[in-house]
Every structure is written in C-alpha cells, then in structure tokens.
C-alpha cells in the first residue's frame, strides 16, 4: 500500500483499547467514533479540535455505535440489545432486546446497509464454537431477523454493487453474497492467509482489510464476485481489528487495534492509528429512523 500512502503512520492519543473495534466517521461533526468492547467504552475523537477526545461508558459487550438520520443520536449494538443513544445526555432509548435465539453469544460486527437498516453479527465470546449469526434490524421492527447461522467469528460487512461482502475470521474466508431482506444467499467463498477482521471500502471498490495477528492491512480489488489482492501495509500493532476512512475528503484511514490476549504488548498495542492516502472512502451509512 506504500504507493497510495501520502504521509507517516500516526498514533493518536494515549488511550489503549483492550479490544478496539468498529471505527465510524461522522461527517456532520467531523469526528471519529469507535468502541472498546471489553472495557465497555465509546471513544470519540475530533482531529480538527486540537485532537479532542471524549470517553463515554457503554453497556456490556457494546460492539458498535453507529450513525442515524438524527444528528447526535447514535445506534448502539450491545448484549443488552439495540438502542438509540442521545450523546449529549448520555441517555439510552431501547429499540429491541438482544436476539432471543442468540443466547450464549455476544454481538460483533455491525454496519448500516444502503437501505438504512442495521446488519450485525453474533459470536461465541470464546471464539470456539460456530454459534454465531448475521441479523438485520430496521426501524419499526419488533426484533432482529436472523439471516445466516453457523458462523464462528463473523466480521467485515461491506456492500458493493448488488453484493454484500463479509468474512468468517477463524475460517480464514471472505464471502460474496447476494443481498436479501430475508436471508443471505451465499455466492462465492475466498480463502485468504491469516485472520481477516474488519474492513473499509473505497469509492472504487477496493477493500482494505485489517489482518488480526499479522500486523498489517491488506488491500484488495473487488470485481463482481472475485477478490484480487493488490498489496499490504505493515503496522506497529500485532492485532489490527478494523479500519475506516475519515477526514473532510475521506482519505484519512483510521485503524483500531487490540491488546487483549497479548502476553507482552508493546506500548502501541490497542492504539488508534491513522495514515493519509490517495484513496477515497465512502460515507458511513445512516440508520433510518
């Protein structure tokens, strides 16, 4: 990825996450939101305001805080269920309970689909059993709808053209599927080296994947149902967990990481990283209220 990088890799702030995840760029406020799942924290960073950072407490296993069509009202996905979060008042308004058929799991990946609905995954907290699933929840629904089961660690959730791309980290595979409101229709599986975690997507269909345990990002080109590896970028953290594009021009790549499970983590493990690129990301989806 060196040919698309235009500046040095930066370590942002002093916070080090146990399990940093799900970075989301809010264009309205020019801020980045991400979570520390194990520490039950929401972090928010304003790069244009002297690198101001705020930390809010979250419910157990909050895996994502996402944008909605209402400014400063966010959607939270946690083991307590799905809720709206009034950021200024630090107040939750529950929308639905955690899926009744997902007992014994915790939420993991989550993103807003092009139609404004929430998609999210569940997984075995110990990452040992294939008891995870993918779900869809739209405004007005009484409960999440189960789309696909038998998942180990469901990760990466990106829409490109009329397809959806996701991964099962411990199977070392990406999947390309047809989109549906009622089920995921699997089309193609792609085996990859290492553990694919969260990803960002560019405006030209390039998938940037955080490779857990390999200290790197891997860049792919999506072509219909095919996945073509282009190059990679070394990182100073062992466990990069996800990434997203932010900044006024959506060309700043933000990368989350984790310290969890490392016997001797270096001082950078768990940090939020950033790097300027020639690439352009896509705006984050908004949950339709």
pLDDT digits (tens, 9 = 90+) for 82-101: 999 999 999 999 999 999 99
Q: Closest Cα to residue 122, out of 141, 147, 142, 139?
A: 147
Distance, in Å, from the CA atom of 87 to the CA atom of 152, rounded to the nearest integer, reads 33
148-181 pLDDT, tens digit each? 999 999 999 999 999 999 999 999 999 999 877 7
Q: Closest Cα to residue 158, out of 244, 258, 98?
A: 244
Residues 214, 220, 221, CA angle at the centre, nearest 5°?
180
pLDDT at 180: 73
Say if residue 2's pLDDT is above 90: no
pTM for the structure as a whole: 0.97
Please check whether residue 65 lies inside any domain of the structure. yes
52-90 pLDDT, tens digit each? 999 999 999 999 999 999 999 999 999 999 999 999 999
pLDDT at 141: 96
Please check whether residue 286 lies inside any domain of the structure. no
| Structural domain of 216 | 2-276
Residue 98 is classified by DSSP as S
Could you tell me what percent of the chain has a pLDDT over 90?
A: 94
Please check whether residue 287 lies inside any domain of the structure. no
Query: pLDDT grade, residue 246 (50/70/90)?
Result: very high
| 209 assigned ligand-binding residue | no
Query: pLDDT grade, residue 230 (50/70/90)?
Result: very high
Task: Look at the chain and report how many structural domains it folds into.
Answer: 1
Query: For the chain, what percentages of helix, strand and coil (3-state, to nearest 5) are there?
Result: 5, 55, 40
Please check whether residue 195 lies inside any domain of the structure. yes
| 197 assigned ligand-binding residue | yes
Active-site annotation holds for 97: no
Report the CATH number at residue 272.
2.120.10.30
Distance, in Å, from the CA atom of 211 to the CA atom of 136, rounded to the nearest integer, reads 26
2-30 mean pLDDT:
96
CB 192 within 8 A of CB 210: no
Please check whether residue 66 lies inside any domain of the structure. yes
Give the pairing of strands 252-257 and 163-168: unpaired
Question: Of the residues 197, 231, 249, 260, which is catalytic?
Answer: 197
| 226 assigned ligand-binding residue | no
Residue with tokens 């304003």: 46
Please check whether residue 89 lies inside any domain of the structure. yes
CB 83 within 8 A of CB 94: yes
The mean of the pLDDT values for the chain is: 96
CB atoms within 10 A of CB 46: 15
pLDDT at 102: 96
């Amino acid at each position: 990825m060196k040919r698309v990088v235009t500046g040095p890799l930066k370590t942002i702030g002093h916070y080090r996450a146990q399990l940093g995840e799900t970075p989301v760029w809010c264009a309205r406020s020019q801020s980045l939101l991400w979570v520390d799942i194990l520490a039950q924290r929401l972090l928010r960073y304003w790069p244009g305001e002297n690198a101001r950072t705020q930390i809010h407490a979250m419910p157990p296993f909050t895996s994502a805080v996402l944008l909605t069509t209402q400014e400063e009202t966010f959607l939270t996905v946690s083991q307590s269920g799905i809720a709206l979060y009034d950021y200024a008042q630090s107040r939750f308004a529950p929308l639905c309970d955690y899926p009744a058929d997902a007992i014994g799991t915790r939420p993991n990946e989550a993103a807003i689909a092009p139609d404004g609905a929430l998609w999210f995954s569940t997984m075995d907290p110990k990452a040992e059993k294939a008891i995870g699933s993918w779900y869809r929840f739209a405004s007005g629904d009484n409960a999440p709808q189960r789309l696909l089961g038998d998942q180990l660690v469901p990760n990466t959730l990106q829409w490109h053209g009329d397809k959806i791309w996701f991964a099962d980290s411990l199977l070392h595979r990406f999947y390309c599927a047809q989109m549906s409101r009622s089920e995921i229709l699997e089309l193609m599986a792609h085996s990859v080296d290492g553990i694919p975690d969260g990803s960002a997507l560019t405006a030209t269909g390039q998938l940037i994947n955080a490779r857990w345990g390999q200290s790197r990002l891997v860049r792919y080109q999506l072509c219909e149902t095919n996945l073509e590896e282009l190059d990679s970028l070394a990182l100073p953290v062992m466990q990069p967990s996800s990434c997203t594009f932010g900044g006024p021009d959506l060309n700043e790549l933000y990368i989350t990481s984790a310290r969890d499970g490392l016997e001797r983590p270096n001082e950078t493990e768990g940090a939020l990283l950033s790097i300027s690129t020639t690439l352009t990301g896509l705006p984050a989806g908004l949950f339709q209220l």
